[in-house]
């Protein structure tokens, strides 16, 4: 049974609230080690003391000095534990990111005179001027509460789906955003209530995953290895930088298992860290030891030693908003201190051009008590390339990538691999991500998905039930974007203003596979937009350029820095075709960025001038893309469908930085789509909950909702 809770490390008194979300069918965990499915809340038979105990909750939503929240999943509901540094009221607001006009508000306080806890279920809508109202159906149940001289605590529960479709949000598998605020008074004084309505606001917010397990063991028994940057100086003229540093593995004489990690961040630079990945290197002391004392180098740039390109197998993957990850008890990522080296990659996103020094990294936990299975991490998704495009002014635009059946057939063992968790990764325009699974032209159940993706909360999703992927199965990574606020085309790239569509998959048993990516074949891509030939570049030469860019798709991120002019190679009939192509490849690879963010900044498509057809002459390919009538829904959907359902070139890449198979082009598989089980079950708990808060006058209800809604908007 997995517990979730939020608590404050600064106080011995919690404000705890327990909420239950109900489902028609209890989740079942199918793993080699027996796992108990979440019980119903009533069957847990917990005392008030147990409910208020922090160790009963497995998933921390918020852990701060002023406010702490945790949530525990049950088969029929979610239970929240809240503690806050106040003797007044506490307000929580739950917002569906897609339907953000509606706020599901909970108001809680303990009466200073009687010591009785009160809880109100409220709501607000922007189209009514954020006027708070008490829900007709009170769907939160107060389970326990307490208050001392400085803190208030409570536990409450709520059904996953309360049947109150007008006033309550549904708690499911997608990311949920929670707002919170506190007051130093109970909502009793009418004059104070009026003041709150006029000027109050939310004090903070936090995204979280309401459902799904989250393994969080006691780390006291594990060994620790801190992998951090060494006073890395971030300059004030670069907004996107990938920095790499080599590390020697801890001094251990035999195989150990990595069992988890937590990020090591600093308050002054935390907001600048987009992601961190620790790669295992395919190289021993002869090639790697000399780099250990270096402070690092720009990743995959000219200054990075060639030996570092052999560091391609991820063992730790962290992205912003995550508090780390721990593996189930039956798997561990192997680590051997004998002649093993690792590379830490940190992506700095510095849009305000701050000049800072950073020592961020990760704390890796490992043990000599080996687990039953060696685990691995592989990356699947879209090869990072300018050909990954998202049109402007789109409410929804979908892209897909393919990990083909030939790759899985060659690499995966006969009994298949078992996936235990997935980290879905994209950038600012992404709204929905999904990792799909196809077997013999039949789509299986979705492995992982988030219909309300939050760029600022990229926590790995630990699966309730492990998914087996057999040789010959195919994996499809799908992303849906919203660019309604973008007047220009968005390209794939490494800057956060560009886009990605990736999934980092933790699985066992470990295989030699490091990544499985795809991209649109170059000729097929340009044919989609009606382009037949470029000036000074034949299509074969253009294809070579893009294949070099995609050769290491999690690599070669250029520095996003002020542009420097590079002379374009002159066309010379005396040169051989291959020499000419290589000259242009060299030229284009020197460009500082491939982002389309500044008209003065060079990018690949601006250097491709169209020669055929005649009607497109005297335009660069970027100008051609910019001039397309993307507001024409039929045109945009046709392009979307052709790129998604047409041809895909795949890359099946091994730990030693070689391809298991030659690059090949596949038609997107034709399969019967999986139909999610229809579950219309909801639980109206109003008639079951005995809630003392129901007797409170409705005028008091306005306090919390006003506060929550005004802050959100």
Q: Residue 484 and residue 500: Cα distance in Å, rounded?
A: 18
| Residue 330 annotated to the active site | no
Q: Residue 513 and residue 505: Cα distance in Å, rounded?
A: 11
Angle between helices 577-589 and 539-550 (to 10 degrees): 40
Sequential DSSP letters for 621-648? HHHHHHHS-TT-HHHHHHHHHHHHHSEE
Residue 421: helix, strand or coil by DSSP?
Answer: strand
Helix, strand, coil shares of the chain as percentages rounded to 5? 20, 35, 45
Catalytic residue, candidates 347, 425, 437, 491: 425
DSSP state, 65? Answer: S
Nearest to 543 by CA among 649, 614, 389: 649
| Residue 674 annotated to the active site | no
Whether 45 and 98 have beta carbons less than 8 Å apart is answered as: no
**Rg (alpha carbons) of the chain, rounded to whole number:** 27
Judged by phi (left if over 0) then psi (alpha if -120 to 50, else beta), residue 8 lies in beta
Catalytic residue, candidates 140, 222, 242, 342: 242
Residues 6+ apart with CB under 8 A from 481: 390, 394, 396, 397, 398, 399, 426, 429, 430, 431, 490, 499
Residue 481: helix, strand or coil by DSSP?
Answer: strand
Residues 6+ apart with CB under 8 A from 713: 126, 130
Nearest to 505 by CA among 443, 580, 417: 417
Judging by beta carbons within 10 Å of its beta carbon (0-12, 13-18, 19+), is residue 295 exposed, middle or buried? exposed
Active site residues: 242, 425
């Amino acid at each position: 049974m997995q517990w979730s809770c939020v608590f404050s490390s600064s106080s011995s008194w919690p404000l705890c609230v327990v909420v239950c979300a109900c489902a028609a069918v209890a989740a079942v965990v199918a793993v080699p080690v027996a796992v108990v499915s979440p019980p119903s809340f009533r069957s847990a038979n917990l005392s008030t003391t147990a409910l208020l105990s922090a160790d009963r909750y497995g998933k921390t939503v918020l852990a701060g000095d002023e406010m702490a929240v945790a949530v525990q999943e049950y088969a029929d509901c979610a239970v929240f534990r809240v503690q806050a540094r106040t003797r007044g009221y506490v307000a929580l607001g739950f917002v569906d990111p897609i339907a953000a006009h509606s706020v599901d508000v909970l108001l809680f306080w303990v009466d200073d005179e009687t010591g009785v806890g009160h809880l109100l279920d409220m709501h607000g809508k922007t189209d009514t001027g954020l006027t708070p109202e008490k829900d007709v159906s009170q769907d939160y149940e107060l389970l326990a509460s307490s208050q001392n001289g400085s803190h208030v605590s409570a536990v409450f529960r709520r059904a996953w789906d309360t049947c109150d479709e007008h006033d309550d949000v549904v708690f499911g598998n997608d990311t949920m955003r929670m707002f919170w605020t506190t007051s130093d008074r109970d909502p009793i004084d009418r004059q104070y209530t009026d003041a709150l309505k006029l000027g109050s606001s939310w004090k903070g917010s936090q995204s979280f995953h309401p459902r799904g397990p989250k393994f969080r063991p006691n780390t006291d028994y594990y060994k620790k290895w801190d992998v951090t940057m060494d006073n890395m100086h971030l300059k004030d003229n670069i907004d996107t930088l990938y920095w790499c540093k080599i590390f020697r593995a801890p001094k251990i004489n035999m195989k150990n298992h990595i069992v988890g990690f937590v990020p090591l961040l600093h308050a002054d630079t935390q907001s600048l860290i987009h992601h961190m990945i620790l790669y295992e290197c395919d190289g021993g002391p002869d090639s790697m030891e000399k780099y250990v004392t270096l402070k690092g180098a720009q990743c995959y740039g000219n200054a990075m030693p060639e030996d570092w390109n052999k560091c391609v197998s991820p063992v730790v993957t962290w992205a912003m908003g995550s508090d780390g990850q721990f593996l189930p008890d039956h798997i561990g990522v192997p680590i051997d201190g004998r002649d093993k080296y690792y590379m830490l990659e940190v992506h700095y996103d510095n849009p305000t051009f701050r000049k800072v020094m950073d020592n961020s990294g990760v704390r890796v936990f490992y043990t000599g008590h080996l687990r039953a299975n060696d685990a691995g991490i592989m990356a699947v998704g879209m090869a990072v390339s300018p050909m990954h495009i998202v049109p402007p002014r789109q409410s929804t635009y979908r892209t897909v990538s393919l990990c083909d059946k030939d790759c899985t057939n060659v690499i995966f063992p006969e009994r298949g691999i078992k996936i235990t968790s997935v980290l879905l990764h994209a950038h600012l325009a992404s709204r929905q991500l999904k990792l799909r699974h196809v077997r013999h032209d039949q789509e299986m159940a979705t492995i992982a998905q988030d219909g309300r993706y939050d760029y600022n909360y990229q926590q790995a999703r630990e699966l309730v039930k492990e998914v087996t992927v057999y040789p010959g199965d195919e994996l499809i990574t799908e992303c849906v974007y919203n660019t309604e606020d973008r007047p220009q085309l968005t390209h794939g790239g490494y800057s956060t203003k560009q886009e990605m569509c990736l999934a980092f998959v933790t699985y066992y048993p470990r295989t030699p596979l490091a990544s499985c990516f795809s991209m649109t074949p170059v000729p097929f891509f340009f044919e989609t937009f009606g382009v037949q030939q470029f000036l000074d570049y034949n299509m074969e030469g253009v294809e070579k350029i893009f294949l070099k860019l995609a050769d290491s798709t999690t690599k070669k991120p250029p520095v996003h820095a002020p542009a420097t002019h590079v002379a374009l190679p002159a066309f010379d009939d005396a040169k051989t075709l291959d020499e000419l192509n290589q000259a242009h490849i060299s030229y284009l690879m020197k460009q500082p960025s491939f982002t389309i963010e500044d008209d003065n900044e060079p990018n690949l498509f601006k250097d491709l001038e169209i020669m055929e057809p005649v009607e497109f002459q005297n335009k660069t390919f970027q100008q051609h893309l910019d001039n397309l009538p993307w507001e024409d829904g039929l045109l945009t959907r046709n392009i979307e469908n052709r790129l998604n359902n047409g041809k895909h070139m795949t890359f099946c890449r091994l730990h030693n930085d070689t391809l298991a198979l030659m690059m090949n082009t596949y038609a997107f598989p034709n399969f019967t789509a999986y139909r999610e089980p229809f579950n219309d079950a909801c639980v109206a708990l109003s008639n079951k909950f005995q809630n003392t808060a129901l007797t409170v006058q409705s005028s008091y209800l306005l306090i919390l909702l006003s506060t929550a809604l005004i802050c959100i908007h």
